[in-house]
Amino acid sequence: MMKDNMKKYSCILLLVFLAIAVLGCSGNGPLGIMNKMKENIEKHIITPDANFEDKSLLIPAKDFKMAPIKDFPVPLSVSDNKEYDLFLWRELPYRRMTSDLKNTSKRDMFSPENKLLSIKYLPMTFVVETEQGETMLLPKSEKPNTLGGIIFDTRENVFGFRENGNLAYWDLYSNEIFWEYKIKEAHLYNVGYKNNIFVSINSRSLLCLNCWSGLPKWMLSFDGQVISGVINTDRYLWVLTSPFNNEGHKLFRINLDTLKISELAFKNIEDYFSFEVDQERLYVVTENSTKIIRINQVSGLVEKEYQAKIENTTGSFLDRKTDFPFEFKAGGLYYLLCLYKNDSVVKLENKLNVVDEALPLNQREYWQEDKDNIFAISPITGDEKWQISKKENNLGEGAKVVLSTRDLVLVADDKYLYGFE
């Protein structure tokens, strides 16, 4: 009897072991994930580009390295979701002509001990970050960690960082996780062309993932440089890097169709670059911020130069990290270079307040104020779009716009958060 029981027990152990081995080696078990990773990475090898027009500023890139498979982060889980054309949810700014906005809500939220740090509009909710923590203003859900970057593909699903810090793609309301990574010191830059998602790790490596499966495609590092900016425009990915002393920036272009990489051979590139709305032109600030060079991002040819100059006074374009790309200061005053108004220059009341620059240039709006009103202007024409009366709405000291969506403008002062429609 004992021998029979031992045989049965041995058979059960063998079946369990075989089941674990099969699950681990296939599907989405650990070994199955590793096999899928290896297969996917081997399909996406980036090599230097060598096909350029005469007088192009583009040259074959040298100072980059493809990461070996052993250096890739391994996902905790991946998804078998079928791929389809990515549709990103974006809440666009106002499209209206100039009009007076009316106050529709007022919340007592702030104090000298609990100041506003940031505010983010997510589908169906607001996340307000103050010195004492985050507050969801609409129904509670698994809220993302907004500091590392978040992008929605629908009103429910989000690419970004969960509260535990893990990079994931999940359903915001059901909390179903489609794929997930445990990556420290990561930043989500963009999701877009060819279903790519781009993430920097420790600012030293750039990781490209398939946004639906979560499987990695490639990972690059740049010799002696840290990643300071990434912009994805259809088939091109532009990566701005800088050394630790913040001098000697380099700008790389990756063709996402051919997986060829090139570098912009241009001296004195500063920590700043932007795109025109037609997605064909690259703007680079140079010469101590006094000049902007417009470059065709396909050919690499210089098309035009702009100077931060008004009459006989030369100024400088402002730091893109905190200011609008085509705003400059000259003679103590602020001006806006309007690309879609015959490159005319508009004098500003004061320094512009900046919104989310992930939006295309023609979909942004920038805020100004004078002693009577807060108002928005178009960044490409300088024309006024809407205004809010400070006196009529009893706005407190230091009132400023903190968010503008399709159907709502939020204004905060030292005590209240106001909604305007």
One-letter identity of residue 9: Y
pLDDT band at residue 70, thresholds of 50, 70 and 90? very high
CA dist., res. 365 & res. 209, Å (int): 31
pLDDT band at residue 242, thresholds of 50, 70 and 90? confident
The answer to whether 265 and 57 are in contact (CB under 8 A) is: yes
Q: Which residue has the tokens 């007022």?
A: 106
Give the pLDDT score at 142: 47
Give the strand order in the sheet containing 103-108.
103-108, 416-420, 409-412, 400-404
CA dist., res. 172 & res. 146, Å (int): 13
Q: Tell which residue, 249, 308, 240, 303, has the closest CA to residue 276.
A: 303
Give the pLDDT score at 13: 46
* DSSP assignment of 301-352: -EEEEEE-EETTEE-EEPPTTTS-TTEEEETTEEEEEETTTTTEEEE-SSPP
Worst-scoring range by mean pLDDT, 26-30, 138-142, 308-312, 365-369?
138-142
Please report, in angstroms and rounded to a whole number, the separation of the first and last CA atoms in the chain: 82
In sequence order, the 6+-apart residues with CB closer than 8 A to the CB of 404 are: 93, 94, 355, 365, 367, 376, 410
Residue 139 vs residues 110, 113, 173, 272, 404: alpha-carbon distances, Å: 21, 26, 10, 38, 20
Whether 333 shows a pLDDT value over 70: the answer reads yes
CA dist., res. 115 & res. 198, Å (int): 32
Give the pLDDT score at 32: 85
Q: What is the pLDDT of residues 192-233, one digit of tens each?
A: 778 888 998 988 899 999 988 999 999 999 887 888 778 777
Q: Can you say whether residue 259 is alpha, beta or left, with left for phi > 0 and alpha for psi between -120 and 50 degrees?
A: left
The rounded percent of the chain whose pLDDT value lies above 70 is 71
CA dist., res. 348 & res. 332, Å (int): 11
What residues does each domain of the chain span? 1-43
* Residues paired with 209 in a beta bridge: 197, 216
Q: What is the pLDDT of residues 294-326, one digit of tens each?
A: 888 889 998 888 888 888 888 887 765 545 567
CA dist., res. 36 & res. 28, Å (int): 9
337: number of Cβ within 10 Å: 22
Residue 65: in which H helix or E strand, if any? strand 65-66
Give the pLDDT score at 358: 47
Q: Which residue has the tokens 């990773």?
A: 37
Kindly report the average pLDDT of the chain as a whole number.
76
Q: Tell which residue, 226, 249, 236, has the closest CA to residue 49.
A: 236
Worst-scoring range by mean pLDDT, 46-55, 119-128, 187-196?
119-128
Inter-helix orientation angle 30-41/2-25, to 10°: 30
In sequence order, the 6+-apart residues with CB closer than 8 A to the CB of 204 are: 221, 226, 227
CA dist., res. 319 & res. 313, Å (int): 19
